Structure 1
Amino acid sequence: MTTEWRLLDDTLTTWYDAPSHSAGAALVERLEAAGTDVDLRPNGLRLRTPSEESAREISAAAKDLGLTADPTALQTIRFGIAAADPVAVRSFWETVLGYEPSGEDPSRRDPQLTVRRLDEPRPLRNRIHVDVVRPSDVVDRARVTTGRDPSGPWGVMLADDEGNEVDLVPGDPLPETTGWQTVFSAMTFYPTTSALEARRLASAVAKLADDAGTPLQIDLRPAGVTIDGSKDQWEDDAPNSGAAFVELAKRIESAAHDLGLAPDAEPLRFVQFGIDAVDVEAVRAFWVALLGYQPDPRAQVSDIYDPRRLNPVLFFQQLDANDERTKQRNRIHFELVVPDDQVQARIETALSAGGRVLDQTPQRCLISDPEGNEIDLR
């Protein structure tokens, strides 16, 4: 197998650098194999494919186009919950997230969830918490299904039977558009009936995004294409103003209509994670180093993000040093999957950034950040 690919979560995966959406879309247009997931970005694209044969075909097409593979930063971030009653907790979270019983996002965009049995009582609130934003009607149905009334300072918090909390936030339609939702990012989804339809839409959107100078996430799946403006990029104080983004969204709608496609807001979802920390600077620096993330440049936010926009945003909140939660292990933790040839380098990075190895086997390494928030490296 070509060295351009790595096995990640039992799937052949690679990343190709590209100078624009359209340059990456040129490779998308050459894809023949069914079942290949594509995440197209302004700086390149990630591909996940089910067979060595299709990987070889993609590599050959990329070579023809002069694209360079860089699989060194490939990673998948998941999250796990330890529960005394895993069945009940899993059911709650599948409902609020809209996930499959396997704990997977049906669109394979957002972090997979695992639930395992709790080994010791941990009654206090987690220092790691979850934000989920979905269309408002979907949020209303999830609240009814879980039987929970929202609470918390923002009136959006739900908790499972064991006190694990999620801020389940209702999104709003993007003004003057059809099918676009503002779910911490401006996002839309177009179901497609064939890979050809998906490729044609992706190519049209790539050209429109390049012409507008607006970075987009364009994700192709067998069920359709998700177009995402990235968290907060559509807001008026972002480099691309809200009004300009609305005009781009309307042009994308027109291109989709010309292809006979109609939007469906039901599957749209945004997921991010917050970490409460006594020393925010030190904890934030640890996660930046371990994950290869970048700090959000805005002074008023603590967000860090994946420069390839493939993994979830993390943000940080101040925690009082006397808070009892500092003495308890979280029930929520992260899981990080990297290629086998990169595991040791990530462990060394974690240690140099103030982390500690809590447990290690040939299959996994459990690491904590400087304040005990855990990540299971596999």
Structure 2
Amino acid sequence: MADETISGKTFHSAVGVAEWRVLFAGAMAHWRTNSLREGARFAARISAAAEELGRDPDVDIRPRDVVVTTRRPDGTLDERDLALAQRISSIARDAGLESDPTVLQAMQIFVAQAPGVDVRPFFEAAFGYEDLYDSDAVDPNRRGIPFAFNPIARAGRGRTHIDVSVPADQAEARVRAVVAAGGRLVDDSHAPMWWTLASPDNHGVDIAAWADIDN
């Protein structure tokens, strides 16, 4: 039997997960390290905890950083994801590592297509991606930015835009930074779930916080 999913709100209400934020792909956390060796030691302990809990998180090790993302195909969370996040945070505290959730983000490319037209095979062939459910395409190696395809024709905006998932407590600052950099606020009617912005040449970007606050 599959584990029951939990909301981002339920995840955040639990103890021991202050370092984590819920983005498109799942729960994500970041820690600073002093060296690649220290990061690898941290990752080895994460691997042991993940195996014990039956989870396969993504662990990105860099010379001075480790980023961990819980992973289920649809980006949802369950109790074992929560338990894994709590365990990893405890391991990080034992190791004296500092977290910086302000740097966290995840992205997807949103492709609008005319009703009755399926452009997903084209993009999958070009990027070496594969189907995810009925409307998305993903990198089978979980490295590249995923695509979402929807039958939307909207005048006055490019037919491809980028969705940027950020922590809820960073979203408004990110929107202000985009506007200060010459961007235009197109639609804030869905805030604080997401804001739609455009570049001076009408390139579309959505700043999304809904995954981190959705009930």
Range into which the TM-score falls when normalised by the shorter chain = 0.7 to 0.9
Q: 1:13 aligns with which of 25, 28, 41?
A: 28
User: How far apart are 1:95 and its partner, in Å?
Assistant: 2.1
Q: Give the whole-Å Cα distance in 1 for the aligned partners of 2:26 and 2:118.
A: 30
SS at match of 1:106: coil
Q: Give the AA of the match of 2:88.
A: I
Residue in 1 aligned with 2:200?
370
What is the 5 A alignment of 1:19-98?
A: 19-31=34-46, 32-33=49-50, 34-49=55-70, 51-85=81-115, 87-98=117-128
Q: Give the whole-Å Cα distance in 2 for the aligned partners of 1:64 and 1:25.
A: 15
Q: Give the AA of the match of 1:365.
A: W
For this pair of structures, how many residues does the alignment match?
Answer: 172
CA contact (8 A) 1:8 1:75 kept: yes
SS at match of 1:111: coil
Q: Which runs of 5+ in 2 are unaligned?
A: 1-14, 71-76, 209-215
Q: Highest CA radius of gyration, 1 or 2?
A: 1
Q: Give the AA of the match of 2:169.
A: D
User: How far apart are 1:80 and its partner, in Å?
Assistant: 1.6
CA contact (8 A) 2:186 2:197 kept: yes
CA contact (8 A) 1:86 1:115 kept: no
Q: Give the whole-Å Cα distance in 2 for the aligned partners of 1:6 and 1:120.
A: 31
Residue in 1 aligned with 2:185?
357
Structure 1 residue 337 corresponds to structure 2 residue 138: no
SS at match of 2:45: coil
Q: Give the AA of the match of 1:68.
A: E
User: How far apart are 1:329 and its partner, in Å?
Assistant: 3.4
* TM-score (ref. length: structure 2): 0.74
Q: Give the AA of the match of 2:56.
A: G
SS at match of 2:174: helix
CA contact (8 A) 1:79 1:113 kept: yes
Q: Give per-residue Cα distances to partners, 1:253-302, cap 9 Å, x unaligned.
A: xxxxxxxxxxxxxxxxxxxxxxxxxxxxxxxxxxxxxxxxxxxxxxxxxx
Residue in 1 aligned with 2:129?
99
RMSD (Å), alpha carbons = 1.8
CA contact (8 A) 2:25 2:69 kept: no
SS at match of 1:88: coil
CA contact (8 A) 2:28 2:67 kept: yes
The 1:101/1:354 distance shift into structure 2, 3 A limit, reads same
Q: Give the whole-Å Cα distance in 2 for the aligned partners of 1:45 and 1:87.
A: 41
CA contact (8 A) 2:25 2:106 kept: no
User: How far apart are 1:86 and its partner, in Å?
Assistant: 6.3
Q: 1:347 aligns with which of 162, 175, 191?
A: 175
The 1:55/1:120 distance shift into structure 2, 3 A limit, reads closer
Show structure 1 runs of 4+ deviating over 2 A: 85-88
Q: Give the whole-Å Cα distance in 1 for the aligned partners of 2:117 and 2:42.
A: 43
Q: Give per-residue Cα distances to partners, 1:19-54, cap 9 Å, x unaligned.
A: 221111111111221312101111211001251111
Q: Give per-residue Cα distances to partners, 1:164-215, cap 9 Å, x unaligned.
A: xxxxxxxxxxxxxxxxxxxxxxxxxxxxxxxxxxxxxxxxxxxxxxxxxxxx
* TM-score (ref. length: structure 1): 0.43
